[in-house]
Structure 1
Amino acid sequence: MTGSTEQQPARRSDATRATILDAARARFAADGYEKATIRAIARDAEIDPSMVMRYYGNKAGLFAAAVSIDPRLPALSFDQREEIGRTLVRHFLALWEENGELTALLRVGATDPEVAERTQSVLQDQLIPLARRVGPEPEQAPVRAALCASTVLGLALTRYVLRFPASVALGREEIVEWLGPTIQRYLTAPTP
């Protein structure tokens, strides 16, 4: 009997969290991070704002939980070893252009440690194993992955957040041709 009464609050808690996350995703997508408020999200979820704070602490914590960061790097296939860099750049461009939440994530991650930590977990869980898989020296994978991330995130910052005119003006294939060989070298060249 005790087990079933303990499960009811847990199920309600899970349902409340799911409702908050659904409302947050919709609100962040509609208003962006800056304009979305805890009150509006709570109103959309039909709960008290204090419940949002109870489960997620603050707007940045809610955003980190609501925004999915999965670049799906393990699913990428590299048929031609000499095209790894270009394939990755094309993949990241598609991710950034299809998911406006990633731009907000970059903005928030620059100032919020919790969001930054979540972003770093992608590097740890996906980019480092990829670098280990394709690189000549597995022990160099963290350095190689960090260099790739700095290049891709630098592009994202200048193109999608700061909107540097020269960066915005570049076509996708131009970016692939500029950055692909650099990413390729970071991942596959011998250590200097």
Structure 2
Amino acid sequence: MSASRRRDAPATRAAILDAARVLFSTEGLDRVTLRDIAAEAGVDPAMVIRYFGSKDGLFDEAARFDLRLPDLSGVTPDELGPALLPHLFEVWENNAGFLALLRAATTNRSAADKMLDLFVEQVAPALARAAVDRPGERAALLGSQVLGMVLSRYVLRVPPLVRMDRDELGAWLTPVIRYYLTSPAPGAPDDPA
């Protein structure tokens, strides 16, 4: 650890957060210790406690982020996938905090509650802007499909999903997004079934 890092509290705090996000996303909340995080950040474990109080406090901070989803109001049904997917791929592939939260949500009630809050506060309102009706149901159905794919590709690492590039996976996901947000609801007068 350099002398400048020891004296720079914001840099030390940021290094701890970065290390926590990486380790939580790759190893999971339950497997990672404060010592692991401290070693990854190049600090004494006491520094982690000093800045975050506990592993739970650190996870709470590491799993907090703004998805910054695009505004989908006025986007045509055929453009929903292309408008949404590039942003989502960036979150899934370049936001260790999101993957840490997703991984932890499968086994930890507090993390699952944080994931639900993220859906309720950020995802559902963004998707509701594009839904033709029943926005809550449509957002929940689409969210369940997308989270299942993200869990399968980025956490479980199901080989066929991992082998697909963004364009191929996007081609599969685009009609799903369009269907859930804009197709007639089952039993509706326009439902072709």
TM range (shorter): 0.7 to 0.9
Query: Aligned letter for 2:181?
Result: L
Q: Give the equivalent residue in structure 1 for 2:98.
A: 102
Q: Deviations for 1:19-70, whole angstroms, at most 9, x for unmatched residues?
A: 885343132245x1236422453982774666567x44xx244213223332
Q: Deviations for 1:139-162, whole angstroms, at most 9, x for unmatched residues?
A: x22211111111211111111111
**Does 1:68 find its partner at 2:64?**
yes
Query: Aligned letter for 1:24?
Result: I
Which has a greater percent of helix?
1
Q: TM-score, normalised by structure 2?
A: 0.72
Q: Give the equivalent residue in structure 1 for 2:153.
A: 159
Q: 1:107 to 1:46 in 2, by over 3 A?
A: closer
Q: Deviations for 1:59-113, whole angstroms, at most 9, x for unmatched residues?
A: 2442132233322115567644421134223321221112233222211111111
Q: Give the equivalent residue in structure 2 for 1:12.
A: none
Q: 1:20 to 1:112 in 2, by over 3 A?
A: farther
**Does 1:183 find its partner at 2:182?**
no
Quick one: which of 119, 125, 128 aligns to 1:129? 125
Choose between structure 1 and 2 for higher RCO, CA contacts under 8 A separated by at least 6 residues: 1
Structure 2 gap segments, 5+ residues each: 1-8, 187-193
Q: Give the equivalent residue in structure 1 for 2:43.
A: 44
Q: TM-score, normalised by structure 1?
A: 0.72
Return the alpha-carbon distance in structure 2 between the equivalents of residues 148 and 69 of structure 1.
21
Return the alpha-carbon distance in structure 2 between the equivalents of residues 66 and 180 of structure 1.
30
Query: Aligned letter for 2:108?
Result: D
Query: Aligned letter for 2:141?
Result: L
Q: 1:61 to 1:184 in 2, by over 3 A?
A: farther
* Further displaced range: 170-179 or 37-46: 37-46
Q: 1:173 to 1:43 in 2, by over 3 A?
A: closer
Quick one: which of 82, 87, 92 aligns to 1:91? 87
Percentage of matched positions with identical amino acids: 35
* Count of equivalent residues: 170
Query: Aligned letter for 1:68?
Result: R
Query: Aligned letter for 1:114?
Result: S
Structure 1 gap segments, 5+ residues each: 1-15
- Work out whether residues 86 and 184 of structure 1, in 8 Å CA contact, stay in contact via their aligned partners in 2: no
After the TM superposition, list the runs of 4 or more consecutive aligned residues in structure 1 that deviate by more than 6 angstroms: none
Query: Aligned letter for 1:145?
Result: A
Return the alpha-carbon distance in structure 2 between the equivalents of residues 50 and 129 of structure 1.
36
